[in-house]
Structure 1
Amino acid sequence: MRNIFSFLLAFVLIGTIVSGCKEKPVTTPGDLEAPKIFLSGPEVVPLGSFVQMQSSDSFFVDVRFEDDFELRDYDISIRFMPSLNYLKTTNDPWNEHWFGNLDGKLGGANFLTHIVYNPTAGPYEFRVRCTDESGKQTEVLTYIFMTNQGDSIKPTVTLNQPDTTDVDTFTIGQQIPVIGLANDPGGLIEDIYIRVRDGFTNELMMDSEIRIDTIFLNPVVIDTFVTIPAGTVPGDYNLEVYANDPTFNVGSITAKVYIKPN
């Protein structure tokens, strides 16, 4: 009896040792990375630069998506840039939106799109967004500047004050003179828009917007000023002057200024 018990005990110990030596199962890591976007059409340019286009043009949207685990969907949109919405015209801006489902680790979108005949001229944002199965998102932005085919010559704006080559300095409470000329070789000037933006945050300086509407003259002498309000944060600022014609083409100029404490 003792021999039988010893044999069974040895068998249990061997089984325990063998089971303890089994390899741990191999596990696949989860989705660790956000998807990648490779946009080749239209060209990717940084904020402040633009891909030039005209109404009634067409162009290819060409984009590739990659993910380390599983793609889910993409979203592509074109919209007028709210931060530069200086026209306030009655015709509709050009807006487009495309959505598609994706699966696997690779995907893409490639198609031809046509620009509407008479969109609001000016800057547009082209945004591509991709989402993977775990909800991680990536987006790529590029920028388009639209002119109208019927009148592709945009107005020109020149400034005598402030200086556009050097940086003029002003004190809080002081007036920034805005003196210059708007000219449209193709027709008339309809509207003038002036504003001052923080050079770091791009936020508008309080009470800095000036709109001169329904002018219909050419050329137009610009002679006004912007008062720097109390509470303005000292630093670098951009004074921007825009002029648009009746076909919604836009010309602009920027003068960099420095605002110091009083």
Structure 2
Amino acid sequence: MTDIRFDFSDKTAIVTGAASGIGQAVAQELAASGACVIVSDLTAAACRAVVDQITEAGGRARAFAADVSDETAMRALVDFAEADCGGLHLAVNNAGIGGPSLPTGAYPVEDWRRVIDINLNGVFYGMRWQIPAMLRAGGGAIVNMSSILGSVGFAHAAPYVAAKHALLGLTRTAAIEYAPQRVRVNAVGPAFINTPLLSDNLSPEVLAGLAALHPMGRIGTPQEVSALTCFLLSERASFITGSYHLVDGGYTAP
């Protein structure tokens, strides 16, 4: 692991939803840049698979299976980072789900609750315990994974769009509250990205249609999202907080 773009050698990072896609790319880049990364996702086996990839490449990582919609699990995740790695300095609240594609007037209430629990409440539960840990460590940086749908609507995705919009308010509020104490909080808004969430569930024809929505004519990669995320976590972004940064191939430009 020789391509170190940032220096996180004295940092511990938590990445949720890290078993695949954007979360996996972020965990790998943080580790390549020297961080001790806590790889968190729903199942221990999936977490360990990413940890094995990181350690085989010479990085440092630990596995911790957790459901972000469980506040107790989020507290335990932060406790683990402090106990196992000596503190917490960085966090990427990335875990999320899409939910069924249905119009608002027909959306199942239980599916609404599940999407909100994971995509919004899960981020709050993470920050609720990450921020005090970062204060104990003397400061830190958080990136919350929003979406282009944090700034625009999208038919048949009411809870997802609502959660991603609300996530921006949560991010900005925390950024204001903790800026004096050297904790920065930002959000990233990817467009459609080539992750298992898309490739495993959509036909090539649908994927081609999604690609056409972007002026660049393609879907993005997890590594392109990771590059911005890791920059925002780094000291190179030391005067950036409370911001929302798009990685969208021009999707929101028209």
**TM interval, short-chain normalised:** under 0.3
Task: Tell me which protein shows more strand as a share of its residues.
Answer: 1
The structure that has the greater radius of gyration is 1
TM-score by length of 2: 0.21
Which has the larger helix fraction?
2
With normalisation by structure 1, the TM-score equals 0.20
